[in-house]
Chain A
Amino acid sequence: MNAIEIHNLSKSYGKVQALKNISFEVQQGELFGLIGPDGAGKSTLFRLLTTLLNPDEGSAKIDGLDMVKDYRLIRSRVGYMPGRFSLYPDLSVEENLQFFAALFGVKIEDSYDLIAPIYSQIEPFRTRKAGKLSGGMKQKLALSCALIHRPSVLFLDEPTTGVDAVSRNEFWDMLATLKTQGITIFVSTPYMDEASRCDRIALCNEGSILSIDTPQGIVQHFDAPIYGIRANNMLALLESARNAQGVIDCYPSGEWHHLVANTNFDVSKFESEFNHMDDFIIKSIEPTIEDVFIKLMKR
């Protein structure tokens, strides 16, 4: 059985269509990533799947339950961590956890084994007010609260946004641990570099799904030659490279510009044209998910 089945789901806010006819499945026990920029409709999809919103068209099943008809049942089975910090800042770490345990009618002790790897890290601060925790600790507490009732599907909407790089990495390690417990995890993120931590990912933009595959599969689909270029004057390089023969696209990516070429592209000719620039380097690179995303977005 699939943990999540989505069929032709559409949702509009007034004239703005936030989701356009989306369909896909998430398997049981899968760590599934929804990757896309802000405004791609990620949060809307989360609110639909957690039954906070009703769809305009289409349907979805969570754990085999219909999102409209059985929404009450779904609510007791899923764990949800919204995009922004949604705990009580004036309550302590412990009080927050106790409240969420009461909300789901469970005892903390009964789920302690599940949350222990996460909660034990913030337990030394259990009397501290949740509002006074650091970003990483807030996320750990929120995750503990979302897990307190042993949900079968966990929805995490941008859990690593606004969290430092070390904590982000730790967070994904925690998700990997949870996956071993058989919990299906549906997670969204705007960071492309986190996509590789997922079993499968869906790239989305402007309410549509661009591609769904494993992170490796997504990258393998990139069918054009791609190069990294750099020089002292990056801006001048970018502008002239875009006009060079055989170049489909050229865009900045970290310390390099990525250059996507077509079959007419001649590396040695390009190199000789640009060699007059100081410290000019061109090298063949492996495409990243970001490259795939940009290519799909421009199509």
Chain B
Amino acid sequence: MKGNFGSFVKKESLHILRDKRTMLVVMLIPVVLMLLFGFAISTEVNNINVAVVASNRTDGVKDAVEQISQNEYFTFCGYISPDQIDSKLRSSEVGAVVVFAADYDRRVEQASKGIPSKPLIQLIVDASNVNTAGSATAYLQNILLKSDAQQAMFETRMLFNPQLKSAYNFVPGIMGLIFILVCAMMTSVSIVREKEVGTMEVLLVSPVRPVKIIFAKMIPYFTISCIVLVMILLLARYLLGVPMSGGIWGIFSLSLLYLVLSLSLGLLISTIAQTQIAALLMSAMVLMMPILMLSGLLFPIENLPSFFQVLSNIIPARWYIDAMRKMMIQGDAITAVWHNCAILLGMTIALLGISLKKFNDKLE
């Protein structure tokens, strides 16, 4: 029976290898997504035009403006008068305006002596893009506070991802998404295809237990996923420079667990869906949407309404992405994310159990 199993795997691999287009898509999507999120789509703030309003261009003011114009994130667009502020922002000529108080130097001096004073700088920011506005404000505050050593009463330091590189954040998210795509969607579609074409009928009327055929189906997809995993890890490390300081073996083994979990999800879908389209839609709606919305990939879980926060607990990708962030970016070892591992392991066992129980060796 051993050689038997090998020939099933061979047959399944032939199906995949002959479907060159799908093969190409599976191999290309991860690379494209990595490059897209890594370079093109970024939440980083770049080249924000800043105008300055200062009635007295004192040395202190000039010093501060110098700091802004030297910063790579901002472009200094010159001094403007107070009544120009609104029109400049409205026409999007500038993204932020820094207004210095007329007695800026005096107030700085007072503040350095510990005398409480009114605000000495006003930031007016175009907040039509919330992300940009937030980051711009934070950066500007940082620069302006630092511009005067005496003003630096507190200092913010970004740990783990000091440049706030968005690629760092997206890599674990993309991994959470890709493996569901490759494993769950493709396996469920390939199993359901046998039902739709009618070959499942012939397979069932044979002495081989269908579970064996199903596992033989999973092996090639598991192999492809492993290749994709290695590809993503290499790209992340050497192209995007993700630190992966938590230990490559921990990252790798948790990912393998997640692959098995995705395969079980695919199997579960295949027991429910009767047509390939249904399997595809189910994978897209039941798996992709929640992963995009509720896993922390696009939106931080803490920002979700409380109902969705609770709901996000049952999304496997949430736990995987969270653990990956910790291991890839913060440098935690796998032991530090043991409860994520435990939850994922529990989910895998439950999903595998349910789908094997649900898998029917009759037609109804």
Contacts and interface: CB of A to CB of B under 8 A. Distances in A.
A48 to B, nearest CB: 10
B362 interface: yes
A98 B14 CA distance: 13
Interface string A58-87: 000000000000001001101011101111
A98 B7 contact: yes
Contact of B201 (A72, A82, A91, A98): A82
B206 A76 contact: yes
B205 A78 contact: yes
Contacts of A50: 201, 205
A88 to B, nearest CB: 6
A98 B79 CA distance: 81
Contacts of A90: 14-15, 18-19
Contacts of A146: 202
B7 A99 contact: yes
Contacts of B205: 50-52, 75, 78, 80
B contact residues, range: 20 to 34
A86 B206 contact: no
A106 to B, nearest CB: 10
Contacts of B199: 86-88
Given A52-B205, A78-B205, A105-B1, A88 B11 contact: yes
A104 interface: yes
A103 B14 CA distance: 16
A54 B363 CA distance: 9
A145 B202 CA distance: 10
B14 A91 contact: yes
Given A54-B362, A76-B206, A91 B19 contact: no
A84 B207 contact: no
A95 interface: yes
**Interface residues of B: mostly helix, strand, loop or mixed?**
helix
Interface string A16-40: 0000000000000000000000000
Given A52-B201, A80-B202, A84-B198, A102 B4 contact: yes
A53 interface: yes
- Give the residue among A72, A80, A95, A103 with the most B Cβ atoms within 10 A: A103
Contacts of B7: 98-99, 102
A52 B363 contact: yes
B26 interface: no
A128 interface: no
A105 B206 CA distance: 10
Contacts of A51: 205, 362
Contacts of A145: 202
A89 B14 CA distance: 12
Given A52-B363, A105-B207, A99 B11 contact: yes
B189 to A, nearest CB: 14
B219 interface: no
A100 B199 CA distance: 11
B8 A102 contact: yes
Contacts of A99: 7-8, 11
A81 to B, nearest CB: 8
A103 B203 contact: yes
A54 B199 CA distance: 19
A2 to B, nearest CB: 20
B285 interface: no
A256 to B, nearest CB: 38
Contacts of B208: 103-105
Contact of A53 (B14, B202, B364): B364
Given A53-B363, A88-B15, A82 B202 contact: yes
A86 B206 CA distance: 14
Contacts of B1: 105
A111 to B, nearest CB: 14
Contacts of A102: 3-4, 7-8, 11
A82 B1 CA distance: 26
B207 A76 contact: yes
Nearest to A73: B207
B207 to A, nearest CB: 4
Interface of A: 47, 50-54, 72, 75-76, 78, 80-82, 84-91, 95, 98-100, 102-105, 145-146
16 contacts: A47-B201, A47-B363, A51-B205, A52-B363, A80-B205, A81-B202, A82-B201, A86-B199, A88-B11, A88-B197, A90-B18, A95-B14, A102-B8, A104-B207, A105-B4, A146-B202
